[in-house]
Structure 1
Amino acid sequence: MDHILIVGINKVSIKYVCEAIRSAGFEPILSVDPSGFHGAAKKVFEGVTCIPAFSDKVALSAYLKSNPALVGMIHSITTFFDELFPVVSAIAEEFGFNAPPEVFARLSSKEFVGSLIPEHVPAETCVSLAEGDFVIPWLKPGQPNDVVLKPSVGSGAVATTLLSIAPDADPAAVIRSTILESAIDDPQDIAWIVQAHCVGDLVSLEGFAQDGRVVFLGLSRRDRVGFTEVANQFPADARIALPVRSKIETAVRDLITRSAFDNGFFHCEFIANDATAYLIDANMGRLGGASIVEQIALAYDLAPATVLQHVALLPLGLLDAPLQYKPVESCRQTLSYWYCLDHEAIVRDWELPPMASIHTPIANVGSVIQPIGTSDYAWIGMLTGYADVVAREIGLVRVLTDRGPRSPVFK
């Protein structure tokens, strides 16, 4: 049987990926660390070939070269993380695997996306300390400037910082210092985006392109505390003014047309206000992370594994038939709380009574988890279901920590 190597998958999607791949006649190989999963979630790995979790092309290549029998089993390679498409593309070329289109890798760069649709993104400049001095030409001299600094390739708000640059400060010096103080490896060697800070709601357009046809599944509207996304409503189309929705759809269509993107999902993030919207992260080639697969499935009366099979196999050219979705107007409202704690803590376990909603543990048991507001790595767990049910059942969840039982924090 042909195998599909999956490099990069979140703790929600992994619950359904084996069923999704096997029901299409393939066998999954997961590049993942099973020790990071809790309780019943570990059962997904029974009878599944797992290899170490890789995010680096050199390390994955070396591993595959040392395991030729494994290489002989692999038909295709893919990922559910857009920042890993460059790794997947390079490995596929080296070993002759089937893989998503190469444009997916190029679209993982925020700089590349901004160059294609400059009219749809905030003012921004790409900088790299390795290239020497730089200027940010669109900053307003003699005034305070609020900017967002983030890696050009990345997700989950990791190393993302909101900077308030004082009128008398040297912008380049402030930005350089912040880059060097970021908690990622070798920050001086990667590209960074300096982007004008926009105020508004965080929304994303979920959908896919297939054989030249663009399908919009609906808008997600997310709540944030600092740089942590804490709740997601889907579909939220009715909550966004029609002219703003049209602007969002135009931006995505322009990006698809200008990049020649096809046969893949997208999760395009915007900051939207009453008048307009700005694309801040394209996330091309993948479905939205966190609970999005469950919310789309619930809203459209589909099984999560059915949706995930569409996501995984569409870019690989392995779908037997297109999946039909009903009109978004007939979808039932869903809600997911991506809850956290308001202080740093070590998570020990969860207490959960029987519930209609779907609960997914996210935090690694025994690990120190940062408080809400730092990044999406502050997530403790997710509770997903129909909106009225989740709003009622979130109060039943208890997180057991080194500081005692705690209730979920999501606002």
Structure 2
Amino acid sequence: MKSGAGYVVLLESTDAGGHELGLAVTQMGLRPLFLLDTELYRADLAMCLQSFEYLPADTRDVAGMVSLLAADGRRVVGVGTLVDSRIPFAVKLAAALGVPGPDPACGPLSDKRQVAQWCPEVSPRSAAAAPGPQPVADTLAEWQREFGSAAVMVKPRVGCAGVGVRLLTEDQQKQQFVADTPDLQNWLVQEHFPGSLFSMEGWVDSAGVHYVGWTSRRKIGNTETEFRFEGFDTLPVALTKQAQEAVAHLIEQASMRRGWFHIEFLVDEARRALRLIDANVGRTGGAMLPHAMAMALGVTTSDLYQHALEMQLWGKSSVSLPDTPPLTRIHKCVCFGSPRAATLREVRLPGTPLQHGPLRVVRILGAGDEVSEIGQDDWSWIGFVAGPEDEVDRYTAQIEIHTTDAVLPAAN
């Protein structure tokens, strides 16, 4: 690191990448400075972050962060984040400080209604309420015209981690939801499209859109439990081409010019059909998907994070990522939790906490922490395991969740 090197401010840490994010910035010849809500970090992740400089902060308060950094006096040369909920705040903080930050186009792309309007041909049929109160009967009549009696998905227009997403199958459920939701204009209603969940990974720079490949995703309820990086060999060529054309169109509509993306699709292979359901842009995927991708590409996770951060800030990177080869061995990340709500005493791993052979293992909850039953949302995670698929499965099967009243298997 150069003497007098400036600081890249990082708003929060990803759930599993604290060490690699900090290392990525040092590899740039700069210094990482995390701004953290310290109450959010536990277990192995908290230990990883102790290796780097950080300041406790409310990372949703831009004015507060400006004042904090001014009083601190460090020379800030960029503001980044790979946490989806903090990207809008990183954009505003970077602008306030006059330094590089995420592409402002990430803001409009976080609105699921806007995404559906930009890509109607590949989006589920959608409806959204106008601002202001509306009679319940009028809203239900509109839903009836649009969807008939079919099941619908309701979700916050801006949201992440599966929070608030619900499937409504009965008329009574729909009526109850409308009656109990005062801010309907902040929600999106879409047709229920049965299909398997995939995301297209890649990035945008001055040369255009670059695709890294497909990740298949598995859920229990609203909790993501598996990210399986499969490259380009997993789906028919025609569906992959359709998805890439949709991504390119979306990126162009938003005038996005730099940064990573992992854009979600539901895919029905039998019908040769897909639907774009969420545009996660400005960052890599969450959990330990970056670790699995890095393993598949034959690079270090800190190199992949460095590429993502440099693309986010400057639209170019000193890290050259290889083209995704045909994958002879699948790498994946498993996100494990508890089969029921509990208070944790210990999360017992079959190996060392942070490293076990070719695997990367991180616990984000530990003794004394409360955990919800897996399936509620992505806050039901206890930890992650990433590596070659067969070894991840063997390892995860041996994890024990010790609670205040039982020993439970890891749920994933």
TM value normalised by structure 2: 0.88
The equivalent of 2:346 in structure 1 is: 349
> What SS does structure 1 have at the residue aligned with 2:209?
strand
Q: 1:323 aligns with which of 320, 324, 329?
A: 320
2:53 is aligned to 49
Q: Which residue of 1 aligns with 2:204?
A: 209
- Counterpart selection for 1:164 from 166, 169, 177: 169
For the residue of structure 2 that corresponds to 1:238, the secondary structure is coil
- Secondary structure of the 1:64 match is helix
Take 1:150 and 1:60, find their aligned partners in 2: how far apart are those partners?
A: 27
Q: Cα offset for 1:105?
A: 1.8
Q: Please say if residues 82 and 105 of structure 1, whose CA atoms lie closer than 8 Å, have aligned partners that are also in contact.
A: no
- Amino acid aligned to 2:363: P
Q: Match of 2:219? A: 224
1:130 deviation in Å?
A: 4.1
1:97 is aligned with what amino acid?
V
Superposition pairs for residues 44-123 of structure 1, below 5 Å? 44-46=48-50, 48-56=52-60, 59-70=61-72, 73-123=75-125
Summarize deviations over 1:16-73 as a string: whole Å, max 9, x none: 11110011011111122445444444343335332235342xx331243255233652
| 1:277 paired residue number | 274
Match for residue 290 of structure 1? 287
Residue 19 of structure 1 corresponds to 23
Matched AA of 2:407:
P
Deviation at 1:407, TM superposition (A): 1.1
What letter matches 2:168 in structure 1? L
d(CA) in 2 for partners of 1:55 and 1:256? 27
> Are positions 1:246 and 2:241 aligned together?
yes
Q: Which residue of structure 2 lines up, in the alignment, with residue 268 of structure 1? A: 263
Q: Distance in 1 between matches of 2:274 and 2:317?
A: 37
Question: Which of the numbers 389, 397, 400 marks the counterpart of 1:398?
Answer: 400
Q: CA deviation at 1:264?
A: 0.8
Indicate the residue corresponding to 1:185 in structure 2.
none
Q: Please tell me whether residue 377 in structure 1 is matched to residue 366 in structure 2.
A: no
Contact 1:212 1:262 in 2 (8 A): no
- Secondary structure of the equivalent of 1:247? helix
Give the Cα–Cα distance (whole angstroms) in 2 for the partners of residues 72 and 226 of structure 1. 44
Check whether the contact 1:6–1:78 (CA below 8 A) recurs between aligned residues: yes
Please tell me whether the aligned partners of residues 86 and 106 of structure 1 are also in contact (alpha carbons under 8 angstroms). no
SS in 2 for 1:239: coil
Does residue 308 of structure 2 align to residue 311 of structure 1? Answer: yes
Residues 384 and 208 (structure 1), Cα distance of their counterparts in 2 relative to 1, 3 Å cut: same
C-alpha distance after superposition, 1:358-381 (max 9, x if no partner): 211133542321112111111111
User: What SS does the corresponding residue of 1:403 show, helix, strand or coil?
Assistant: coil
Residues 190 and 26 of structure 1: is their aligned pair in 2 closer, same or farther, counting only changes over 3 Å? farther
Q: Let me know the Cα RMSD of the aligned residues.
A: 2.5
Aligned to 1:334: 331
AA aligned opposite 1:5: V
Taking only the aligned residue pairs, the percentage that are identical comes to 22
**Structure 2 runs not aligned, ≥5 long:** none
Q: Distance in 1 between matches of 2:146 and 2:312?
A: 46
